[in-house]
Amino acid sequence: MEQRKNAVLVLAVIIVMIGISIILTEQFSVAEPPRGTPGTDDPSIPGVPVTAISVSTTAVATGTMTKTPDVTISQQQAQALLDEGEIHGYSIAGITLSDRYPGKILYEFSLVPDNTSIRKTNATLFIDAETGDPYNPLQDKAGITIEQAKAKAREAFPEFTADNVRMRFNDGSQYMRSWAFELRKGEEKLVQGSLTADTGELSSYSIGITRLGRPGTPAITMDVAQQTADREIRKRNGDIRIVQTEARLDPLGMPGEKIAGKYVFVYNRVIHGIPCDNDGILVVVDSVAGNVVEYRKSWSLPEDAVALPADAVVSKETAITTVQQEAEKLYPASASSLRIVSAELRWKDFHNPDQVTPKPGSVLLAWKVLFDDETIRGWQWPVPANGWVDAKTGELLDLYYRH
């Protein structure tokens, strides 16, 4: 009898232990990587080492389960989404499916300089494994999220029916902090541009011009094109203080190629009645279709940064003489052909807004003097030289004059 009781007890213990083993196995088992997730033997990119991580749910203190993002794109798709400009001059040394940043599963591309020697240091790029968007860790510090940026890009162009918005964050290391976007329909790029990093304001965009079958002469006048440019500025900005400083017809194609060009209009921001030299808006209008094909806005100078009063002490004639004398010292043989193109008062507002905030009163009022000579006028695309003279002291601030 006693032996029977002991046998029953042993059997019960064995059953309990088997049950516990099953529970532990289910709780701590590693989920199989989803289809499309590379493993160490993934042959999609021969010769490139690949490391995979497991993607599973994680238990938290409350007993609830938080699901990590799904991997919805393959390694090959992720590689195809890398920006060509960013990977130019690099070779891919390795690819890792990484969860190093909370709430994200990323393809991490380790890049090394290739034999072209264009690049000097290694680099790392990320592609979101769920959305396919490029990821930059600094984008988490932007004022708007990538999804908000996508929505703003769509809202800026209601006339386009885009089925895809590609968005990439520029962290300021090479370009100004911004969200760079492309609105696409299938493989067709409808419009590309940029939004400010923190507010999502449209700062630039461009639309391609089809050259095939394009007529040789404009279909609209410059006056009509300027009205279009003015309307675009009001539409994007409301009423702002600007002055138009340039209007021209730029050619398309190679020199001698008979293709109707594009109208370019430059508007400078005005502070206390004086135009800024850098801050302003550029609008380009297609001379055939009549639509805006390019828009660029630079508007970063704090108004209190200008050095008041906005009154010149040094005359225009004195400023011109100062620039001429210095220019003649550089190229004495060209002195007789030197010609003054223009001389105008400007706020000398050159700074990188991501790195420098000008102090109050630090931006000088200056005469900007443009000039050329026989050598410059003989260039295929002549660009005038320039000199800057402090409008209060008469000091030569800058001179750019090269042959």
Burial of 47 (C-beta count, 10 Å sphere; 0-12/13-18/19+)? exposed
d(C-alpha 199, C-alpha 10), whole Å: 70
pLDDT tens digit at each of 403 positions of the chain: 444 444 433 344 444 444 434 333 333 333 333 333 333 334 444 455 555 444 433 333 334 445 678 899 999 999 999 988 889 999 999 999 999 999 999 999 999 999 887 888 999 999 999 999 999 999 999 999 999 999 999 999 999 999 999 999 999 877 789 999 999 999 899 999 999 999 999 999 999 999 989 999 999 999 999 999 999 999 999 999 999 999 999 999 777 788 999 999 999 999 999 999 999 999 999 999 999 999 999 999 999 999 999 999 999 999 999 999 999 999 999 999 999 999 999 999 988 777 788 999 999 999 999 999 999 999 988 999 999 999 999 999 999 999 9
d(C-alpha 259, C-alpha 251), whole Å: 7
Q: Are residues 276 and 270 in contact, defined by beta-carbon separation less than 8 angstroms? A: yes
Q: What is the pLDDT of residues 218-248, one digit of tens each?
A: 999 999 999 999 999 999 999 999 999 999 9
Task: Tell which residue, 214, 154, 178, 147, has the closest CA to residue 297.
Answer: 178
Report pTM.
0.80
The amino acid at residue 343 is A
- Tokens 């920006």 sit at which residue? 83
Give the domain 211-299 fold.
Nuclear Transport Factor 2; Chain: A, (3.10.450)
Residue 342 structure tokens: 């223009």
Residue 397 structure tokens: 């601030």
Q: How far is CA 182 from the centre of its chain?
A: 11
Q: Which listed CATH number (3.40.50, 3.30.70, 3.10.450, 3.10.150) goes with 316-400?
A: 3.10.450
**Across-strand partners of 285?**
263, 292
- Tokens 């800026």 sit at which residue? 156
d(C-alpha 199, C-alpha 201), whole Å: 6
- Strands annotated E in 272-402: 274-286, 292-298, 339-347, 365-372, 385-390, 396-400
d(C-alpha 333, C-alpha 275), whole Å: 34
Give the pLDDT score at 69. 83
Across 352-382, b (16+ Cβ under 10 Å) vs e yields ebbeeebeeeebbbbbbbbbbbeebeeeeee
Residue 28, classed as helix, strand or coil, is helix
Q: Are residues 63 and 98 in contact, defined by beta-carbon separation less than 8 angstroms? A: no
Q: What is the pLDDT of residues 306-327, one digit of tens each?
A: 999 999 999 999 999 999 999 9
Q: What is the pLDDT of residues 324-376, one digit of tens each?
A: 999 999 999 999 999 999 999 999 998 877 778 899 999 999 999 999 999 99
d(C-alpha 357, C-alpha 363), whole Å: 11
